[in-house]
Structure 1
Amino acid sequence: MAKAEFGQAVRRWRDRVPPEAAGLVPGGHRRAAGLRREELAMLAGISADYVTRLEQGRATHPSGQIVEALAGALRLSGAEREHLFRLAGLAPPGPGTVPTRISPSVHRLLDRLTGTAVAVYDATWTLLLANPRYAALMGDPARLPGHERNGVRRNLLGQGDSRVRQTPEDRRRLEAALVADLRTAAARYPDDPRLGSLLAELRSGSARFAELWDSGAVGTHESARKTIDHPAVGTLTLDCDVLTVAGDDLRVMVYTAEPHTEDAERLALLGTPARE
């Protein structure tokens, strides 16, 4: 990897991203022209220390997932994204792979939802981007190990979303919806190596996944009503809707509360990182 060039590119592109992208009100005294390192880290779901090491050329061999996360958070064009992959010594994902680029139009949508908890996933349910309100609600994605950023793996092989209260029936219903959705993605991207590795890991590690997969169910995970036990503001019951961006095959997950309720008041309290 051209370490110095990679870091310089990240720093240069970070300076042009508006603070509003991190849910910040423009104005006030800011030393950084665009995003601070901590803000880029939050948007990309990685640690601020890792961003620092990348920019200073002290971190080597970032994974394709990290490069893609940075490209999305930095709002890179298609050509810029390819360039960042090549600076990392990686081949840009080909046309047969699961799309992970977040288009400018989706970024504009997120800019208009800064007061709403929103996360963007790819077709395999791997988290690509979470806004500050989502991070405050569900926990900072930067604290998740890389493999835990995939929702199917987290629910079938891990502990699931620790803040979401689930009955056994809720969990089984979610697992079935996620596996059916993943089967749809596998049919659409049969040659994607990352997806192939995920399917192999799930089949070998989860009897529940194998049972659901062998049932042949195909579908989409669309919406739910979730009860979240938050460590700072208490319990919230929220609507969780999943919007599909057809051309980019992305899933935009949006958490909202019914207006003028205690849930809405508690959700509004999550406007600062201190409330995580």
Structure 2
Amino acid sequence: MSRGEMADFLRRRREALRPAQMPATAVHPPGPRARRTPGLRREEVAVLAGVSTNYYERLEQARAPRPSPQVLTALGTALRLTTAEREHLARLAGQIPPSTDADRTPVSADARRLLHRLGPTPAYVVNDLEDIMAWNAAAAMLITDFAQLSVHERNTVRLAIRLGGTLCSAPTGVAEGDFARQSAAHLRAAGARHPADRALGELVNDYAAHNPDFVAGWRSHDVRPRPALRKRLRHPELGELELDRQTLLMPGSSMRLVLYTADPGSPSATALARLSPPNATP
């Protein structure tokens, strides 16, 4: 059980809620003085969850014993947590055992064939640590020649640091913050699954030193997945592209498939079609 992490997560989710979102019977009516803290008060969450205020306060102070599954369910409902957030809370509370180190097993032959069949659609497979485990030729042509990178460098976050905040050079500041916050959410959730993974901790520290948007995302304790992200990239041969970065969880695995697509009929779609990958996939 990670009491400190759980306490911070509960506080962040409580502060993200607004009294207007809650039933009128569960929140204090507005008085002559403004609320001193953002979001709901601790006693209001306690009422919504059906627990004592003292117990909830101790949870946020990292002083309470491990909450039961029933209490976690009640807190999830009170704080309006998503499915991903409820799972994260259960892991922090020790109700779901931590996993071993992030999956670094080879990508299956079926997944590699899928990458190859995507043709001019750039795509790659990442694990929990954002390591790029496999890719197609279109992704190498759009982003970089992954085969020339070391295993350590073959990571979306490390490439973001190396290439100025995105997987391709882009106009300053465009979409960089969104990518950083998306990375923070993924790595926060991965940290709860693999609390003893040193490589993950090093990755977080490296990106935090590079990107303030990542730091803000990390501190917000937001673990909600962001399956889609629009990016504007400047490719040396294809010019400026506006692409959608879509992330899909691969069935039966913790790995994810990342694809870059463009709006049909758009100049970016025409440019992507010019990618003519050879008949080989690493």
TM-score (norm 2): 0.54
Shift of 1:174: 1.8
Q: Does 1:179 align with 2:184?
A: yes
Cα distance in 1 between the residues matched to 2:204 and 2:149: 20
Aligned pairs for 1:67-106 (under 5 A) are 96-101=100-105, 102-106=107-111
Counterpart selection for 1:215 from 201, 211, 220: 220
CA change 1:231–1:199 in 2 (3 A) is closer
Contact between 2:115 and 2:135, CA under 8 Å: does it hold in 1? Answer: no
* SS of aligned partner of 1:111: helix
Contact between 1:239 and 1:256, CA under 8 Å: does it hold in 2? Answer: yes
> Based on CA coordinates, which of the two structures has the bigger radius of gyration?
2
CA change 1:107–1:169 in 2 (3 A) is closer
TM-superposition CA deviations, 1:249-271 (whole Å, max 9, x none): 11211112233333222212111
Cα distance in 2 between the residues matched to 1:174 and 1:106: 25
Shift of 1:183: 0.6
* SS of aligned partner of 2:275: helix
What residue is the counterpart of 2:250 in the other structure?
245
Contact between 2:170 and 2:232, CA under 8 Å: does it hold in 1? Answer: yes
* SS of aligned partner of 2:180: helix
Range moving further from structure 2, 100-109 or 170-179: 100-109
Range moving further from structure 2, 157-166 or 178-187: 157-166
Cα distance in 2 between the residues matched to 1:190 and 1:246: 23
Q: Does 1:127 align with 2:135?
A: no
Aligned pairs for 1:121-160 (under 5 A) are 121-144=126-149, 146-155=151-160, 159-160=164-165
TM-superposition CA deviations, 1:214-245 (whole Å, max 9, x none): 33221223212222222122222222211111
Equivalent pairs: percent with the same residue? 32
Contact between 2:166 and 2:179, CA under 8 Å: does it hold in 1? Answer: no
Cα distance in 2 between the residues matched to 1:181 and 1:107: 23
Shift of 1:166: 4.8
Q: Does 1:112 align with 2:114?
A: no
Cα distance in 2 between the residues matched to 1:221 and 1:239: 12
Q: Mind listing any 5+ residue stretches in structure 1 that lack a counterpart?
A: 1-94
Range moving further from structure 2, 263-272 or 174-183: 263-272
Contact between 2:123 and 2:258, CA under 8 Å: does it hold in 1? Answer: yes
What residue is the counterpart of 1:270 in the other structure?
275
CA change 1:230–1:168 in 2 (3 A) is closer
What residue is the counterpart of 2:173 in the other structure?
168
CA change 1:194–1:255 in 2 (3 A) is same
* SS of aligned partner of 2:118: coil
What residue is the counterpart of 2:34 in the other structure?
none
* SS of aligned partner of 1:271: coil
The number of residue pairs the alignment matches comes to 179
Contact between 1:127 and 1:151, CA under 8 Å: does it hold in 2? Answer: yes
Contact between 1:226 and 1:237, CA under 8 Å: does it hold in 2? Answer: yes
Aligned pairs for 1:39-54 (under 5 A) are none
Cα distance in 2 between the residues matched to 1:200 and 1:116: 32
What residue is the counterpart of 2:238 in the other structure?
233
**Counterpart residue identity of residue 244, structure 2:** D
Cα distance in 1 between the residues matched to 2:209 and 2:234: 32
Cα distance in 1 between the residues matched to 2:165 and 2:149: 12
Cα distance in 2 between the residues matched to 1:219 and 1:144: 30
**Counterpart residue identity of residue 170, structure 1:** A
Q: Mind listing any 5+ residue stretches in structure 2 that lack a counterpart?
A: 1-98
**Counterpart residue identity of residue 132, structure 1:** A
Cα distance in 1 between the residues matched to 2:214 and 2:265: 40
Cα distance in 2 between the residues matched to 1:129 and 1:106: 9
Cα distance in 1 between the residues matched to 2:166 and 2:259: 15
* SS of aligned partner of 2:224: coil
**Counterpart residue identity of residue 100, structure 1:** R
Shift of 1:246: 4.4
